[in-house]
Amino acid sequence: MNALLLGVLLAAAPLQEAEAPPMVQVGLERIEAESGGVLKGRKVALLAHGASVTAAGRHAVDVLRGVEGLEIVRLFAPEHGARGTAAAGVQIESGRDEQWGLPVVSLYGEKTQPEAGDFEGVDTLVIDLQDAGVRFYTYASTALLAVEAAAQAGVRVVVLDRPNPLGGERIEGPLAEPSSVMPRTLVNTTPGPLVHGLTLGEMVRLYNDSLPRKTRVDVVEMRGWRRSMTWHDTGREWVPPSPNLRSADAAIAYPGTCLLEATNVSEGRGTEAPFLTIGAPWLRVPHVLAGVAVQGFALGPARFTPKASPAAPSPKHKDQDSAGIAIRVVDPVAARPWELGVALLQALRRQPEFEWTRQGRGLDALLGTRRVREMLRLDWSLNEILDADQGAHAGWRAERKKHLIYE
């Protein structure tokens, strides 16, 4: 058969669509399918946000209200609020959600942990949060502090589990230093390395086991999720768990590009692609691109002008034409976001206009340690910085092993 005829036949042949992966079933959907399961007849406080939904878009409040005998006594609201629409860092007010007709207790603002009175009339704390799998994303810390308070109040905990979008095998970055050295905040409370490789259900089990006063923890497990999966393998549509984490690709880059929050370089807030767009009016893009080549990512030049929006009321370099870098995830499994973040910081520090926020304390707070900034100051190589945490990673893999739910 000649090449021309072969080309005609191939062009005429119907295209075979790639088979979509079977959809992972999350804990909330199991509760819905099983008519409430372990939650039947319970009086609950629900810690949830805007991404606490089924694949069909039903929110956890609506699903739980359909469970026989279950009463939602109150909601707990993490950062970004119970509906997930508030901008980063905006204090969430306690009050009442008029649409749902439920009292809301804020855990992001004046207090970050429930008080004993917040569990009045409650026998079960239900947690349904889509986490990002990285320590400085505050939802896991909020969940753990709520578990600690529930244990003190004698309230059981049920976690409706969801995928870690980074997968269950990726472990990267430093451990936080003890609280006597670095005071605990919502960005550095979660145990383990910066990228810990646990689902929220697994993290709650591990944390509860460490408490002097424990409570009963039940995890409504996912169906079909494996540790090797990133979000791209779950078959699920991405629902932003916060206003600026808008895609599964952004979640892959986030543990690295979010480090730029501690600098005078934009991490992309105020653009269409936060955490996948970085830059500044003064950035010498070719110099940065020449120094950053990280597996799983492709970087290229871009220009952007950050604009204020409800998701980013005061973005860096607002309304200024900025030279930047567009980051593309080309292999979600192979991608190494912590390496990307460190490589970017190394390259950006060589720019004359570069500055740390709060004289570098912003980075220390994000990471829960001063060691990384000191290594950068001393011009450690990229491999030296990455290798510094290998021993801690081995210890973490051993520590977390008995708390793993999924293979």
Tens digits of residue pLDDT in 323-358? 999 999 999 999 999 999 999 999 999 999 999 999
Q: Provide mean pLDDT across the span 374-397.
A: 97
Residue 3 pLDDT greater than 80, yes or no: no
Question: What letters, b where the CB count within 10 A reaches 16 and e where it falls short, cover 107-126?
Answer: bbeeebbbeeebbeebbbbb
pLDDT at 9 over 70: no
What pLDDT does residue 87 have?
Answer: 86
The CA distances from residue 147 to 12, 20, 36, 76, 82, in Å, are 60, 37, 21, 12, 18
pLDDT at 217: 98
**Tokens standing for residue 150:** 């529930």
Segment 378-389 shows an average pLDDT of: 97
- Phi–psi pair at 125, nearest 5 degrees: -95, 120
CB 240, CB 84: distance < 8 Å: yes
pTM for this entry:
0.93
Neighbour-count burial of 333, counting CB atoms closer than 10 A to its CB (0-12 exposed, 13-18 middle, 19+ buried)? middle
Residues 47-90 pLDDT 10s: 999 999 999 999 999 999 999 999 999 999 999 999 888 888 88
Rounded percentage of the chain residues whose pLDDT exceeds 70: 95
Consecutive H or E run containing 202: helix 200-210
Biggest alpha carbon distance in the chain?
Answer: 81
pLDDT per residue as tens digits for the range 235-290: 999 999 999 999 999 999 999 999 999 999 999 999 999 999 999 999 999 999 99
Render pLDDT for 127-147 as a digit per residue (tens, 0 to 9).
Answer: 999 999 999 999 999 999 999
Digit-coded pLDDT (tens) for 105-120: 999 998 999 999 999 9
370 pLDDT more than 60: yes
Q: What is the pLDDT of residue 239?
A: 97
- Whether the CB-CB separation of 67 and 40 falls below 8 Å is answered with yes
The confidence score (pLDDT) of residue 21 equals 60
Task: Flag whether pLDDT at 383 surpasses 70.
Answer: yes
Residues 270/321, Cβ–Cβ less than 8 Å: no
Element (H, E) at 181: none
Q: Does the structure show a pLDDT above 60 at 167?
A: yes
C-alpha to C-alpha distance for 323 and 312, rounded to whole angstroms: 19
**What's the mean pLDDT when you consider all of the chain?**
93
**152 Cβ neighbours under 8 A, 6+ residues apart:** 116, 213
Confidence of residue 20 (pLDDT cuts 50, 70, 90): low
Q: What is the pLDDT of residue 13?
A: 41
Residue 1 has pLDDT above 50, yes or no: no
Rounded average pLDDT over 377-390: 97
Contact 158, 38 (CB under 8 A): yes
The pLDDT value given to residue 406:
98
pLDDT of residue 85: 87
Residue 6 binned pLDDT confidence (cut-offs 50, 70, 90) = very low
Length of the chain as a residue count: 407
Task: Dihedral sign for Cα 49, 54, 56, 60, please.
Answer: negative
Dihedral sign, CA of 247, 252, 253, 259? positive
Q: Copy the structure tokens of residue 392.
A: 């801690």
Q: Supply the pLDDT for residue 328.
A: 98
Q: Are 200 and 177 in contact (CB under 8 A)?
A: no
- C-alpha to C-alpha distance for 20 and 90, rounded to whole angstroms: 38
Domains and CATH numbers, the chain: 27-240+399-403 (3.40.50.12170), 248-369 (3.90.1150.140)
Provide CB contacts within 8 A for 87, sequence distance 6+: 80, 243, 310, 311, 312, 313
The alpha carbon torsion through 334, 337, 340, 342 (nearest 10 deg) reads: -130
Rounded-to-integer distance, Cα 168 and Cα 192, Å? 13
